[in-house]
Structure 1
Amino acid sequence: MWPLNDAGAMSGLVCGVLFGYVLENAGFGSPCKLTAQFSMRDWSVFKVMFTAIVVAATGLYALELAGLLAIDNLFVPTSLVMASAVGGVLVGAGFAIGGYCPGTSVVGFFSGRLDALVFIVGLLLGTWVFAGLYGPAIEAVMSMWEVETGDTFMDAWGIPQGLLIAILFAALIGVFYAGSWFERRGRGPVQADEALAGAGSADSV
């Protein structure tokens, strides 16, 4: 993680713009395509995100083997299982209802989608409410099921890093196979432009 200086801020801005450009061109700025993930009709989101995880894990492992990166120097957040579960359910519910996640809502807004602006306002409002209500009760819930043996799979379960990478690759193949099967059954994947056009024609009828 680069320090918050001019170079670091500029790199974050450039990477953010490029990331947003890729998301929009992949159709991820469309709520129609994103909600199709929850109906199992379009697995593009899951495939892309899981692929990103495997690529990042493999890249870090390769850099460590090459002696270019010390894994111990990387910051790993504390594994709070309950907090992650509750947060995942809330974010997933918002994702399914609104068709956006925090990143894609910004992409959708800059692409001219007003519903994305409503989602962003809700995101900011929810963050403000959470900060205002944060106290001992929320802290107690967040600290439940904290993993004390380590914050990575390797530390917690003693899995060698190479074996974990192999498991991730096997899981990735399974995700692509299962996703493609569901997409064929659901006549997917959804094309963002076609989905929006279909919604417009349905409204006109």
Structure 2
Amino acid sequence: MGPLIVNEIISPNTNLFIAFLIGIGFGFALESSGFSSSRKLAGMFYGYDTTVLKVFFTAALTAMLGLLFFSLFGWIDLDFVYINPTYLTSAILGGAIMGAGFIMGGFCPGTAFCAISIGKLDALAFIGGLVLGILFFTEGYPMWEEIYKANFLGTPTMNDIIDLPRGVFALGMILVAFAMFWVGEWAEKKFPREEY
């Protein structure tokens, strides 16, 4: 909501309230999609349930197209949208660690909190591991600060990296999404699993 605050369209307190409502909506969407089930989430890696792929790809495309159209209509200035700085080494290591945890535990951090909110105690162990991981990283940060900050790339966007206009890149991502949805449907037929 940064551009709306910078341009004094909404106040910081209103921004927090809107973020709170968006968080409730996001949690509702996760639960409605079945993301509180570790079996459904793990099914992505085994090919028998690609709901995760479909939901998150759809969310990413919706956000991307929303920002593009908002920018086109002059409702948002994309220069004010914060982009996390890219540290390539830590992104790869962190992705590998989170991916391994996702496969073993059946949850990512967001879905773990979604599951615990409806009383699924298996998610509590995952959240405990998450807290321990945070403590391990923060308390030991001086030891791996050099690794964490290795291969700093700034704040590039994918369309800048491959030198494509934003609209052309968005069209390409839509085509990739349709291809992935097709692959997901194929995988679900290829690796069926009885209802769980």
What TM-score, normalized by structure 1, do the two folds share? Answer: 0.85
Deviation at 1:147, TM superposition (A): 2.0
Deviation at 1:15, TM superposition (A): 1.8
Deviation at 1:12, TM superposition (A): 2.3
The match for 1:138 among 141, 144, 149 is 144
Contact 1:77 1:151 in 2 (8 A): no
Q: Structure 1's 9 and 64: CA in aligned 2 closer, same or farther, altered over 3 A?
A: closer
- 1:115-172 CA-partner distances (Å, limit 9, x unpaired): 111111111111011100001x422212323225x51123333211111001101100
Gaps of 5+ in 2: 6-10
Aligned partner of 2:55 in structure 1 is 48
Structure-2 separation of matches of 1:11 and 1:64: 20
The match for 2:178 among 163, 173, 176 is 173
Report % sequence identity.
32
Amino acid at match of 1:141: I
Aligned partner of 2:18 in structure 1 is 11
Deviation at 1:79, TM superposition (A): 1.7
The match for 1:101 among 96, 101, 108 is 108
Aligned partner of 1:201 in structure 2 is none
Contact 1:105 1:120 in 2 (8 A): yes
Aligned partner of 2:165 in structure 1 is 160
DSSP-derived class of the 1:147 partner: strand
What TM-score, normalized by structure 2, do the two folds share? Answer: 0.89
Aligned length: 189
- 1:91-117 CA-partner distances (Å, limit 9, x unpaired): 111111111111111110111111111
Structure-1 separation of matches of 2:103 and 2:187: 18
CA-based RMSD of the aligned residues comes to: 1.8
Aligned partner of 1:126 in structure 2 is 133
Greater shift after overlay, 12-21 or 100-109? 12-21
Amino acid at match of 1:163: V
Deviation at 1:5, TM superposition (A): 4.5
Gaps of 5+ in 1: 196-205
